[in-house]
Amino acid sequence: MEKTFSQWKTQCLKKLDLSKKGSVDQDIEHVVSLLNSCEEFFTTSSCSGRIILIDGAADSSGVQKQNCVWLFVSHHKCTFDDLMSGLSRSGGDAVLKFEPAVLHVQCRWLGDAQLLHSVAINSGFRNSGLTVGKTGKIISAVRSTHGLEVPLSHSGRLLVDQEYIRFLTQIANQKMDENLRRIDRFYQNIQSALSAERAHPPDGSGSQEIQDPQHIQEAERREEEEEEEEGKGERSETHTYQRRRRRQQHETDGYHGDSNSSPLELDDCISLFT
């Protein structure tokens, strides 16, 4: 028997934090707490954004986090000395990266995910997206696009001068400031959206849970019967929109980003929206 949303939420929130840090980042903790306090949502992974300096193997064709040394990492702004200290320990190909905030949220209904997605886009997280799994899991990914990735050394030899590293320090810190503004904007906007949603709940046409194939076929059969009864009469624009929306929701179940029953991991979610 498939798990219900409440069971998924309980299981997820009881799990240990398997990130390197082992806890939710302070600058996004208020967003995570707000979403987890709502019956419609729970977070599966989060990061407030970070500046990292990683050292990959010199003979590697690409920098991969699992095969590299972390020379420096911070979820806050960095200094020139932080980067120079890290670079002094580089023996391979050092890369400076700024990774903006990312948040993955499982939603109870498709309508809830659409609401969250709209808020994310309007708050500046324009790389956000949705996936619907075979088991009925609806995941909303809140992601931004203002990243930074710059190679600084090769085989342990610095490729740029210190003036350029000072410049990169300034750029990375500016991106971190903008990142925190977007997090705050998202927090304020989701609060407002949830308040408005509860004050004026929808008619329910956009809040149906993803159904199993048997239910979908049954719904399609009922729609066909309704169409036959209507005959050649013209439908109103409202009626046509509601019918199209229901059909789109049913068809959504045929698209999935996760064929397994386990919750989506951070890297899996990211690959789905790239």
**With bands split at pLDDT 50, 70 and 90, how would you rate the model's confidence at 21?**
low
Taking alpha carbons only, the member of 110, 100, 113 closest to residue 193 is 113
Return d(Cα 78, Cα 176) in angstroms, integer.
9
The label of the residue with tokens 């324009």 reads: 126
Q: How many CA atoms lie within 13 A of 135 on its CB side?
A: 16
Tokens matching residue 222 = 């009922």
User: What are the contacts of 251-255 at 24+ separation with CB within 8 A?
Assistant: 252/110, 252/132, 252/210, 253/132, 253/134, 253/136, 253/210, 253/211, 253/212, 253/213, 253/216, 255/131, 255/132
**With bands split at pLDDT 50, 70 and 90, how would you rate the model's confidence at 226?**
low
pLDDT, the chain, mean = 78
β-pairing verdict for 129-132 and 138-143: antiparallel
- pTM score: 0.69
- Residues 102, 46: contact at Cβ < 8 Å? yes
Interval 49-94: pLDDT, tens: 999 999 987 665 554 555 789 999 999 999 999 999 999 999 999 9
Which 3 state secondary structure label does DSSP give 118? helix
Taking alpha carbons only, the member of 83, 85, 108, 105 closest to residue 96 is 83
Find residue 126's DSSP bridge partners: none
Domains of the chain: 1-195 (3.30.1960.10)
Q: What is the mean pLDDT of residues 195-218?
A: 58
Interval 190-199: pLDDT, tens: 999 999 887 7
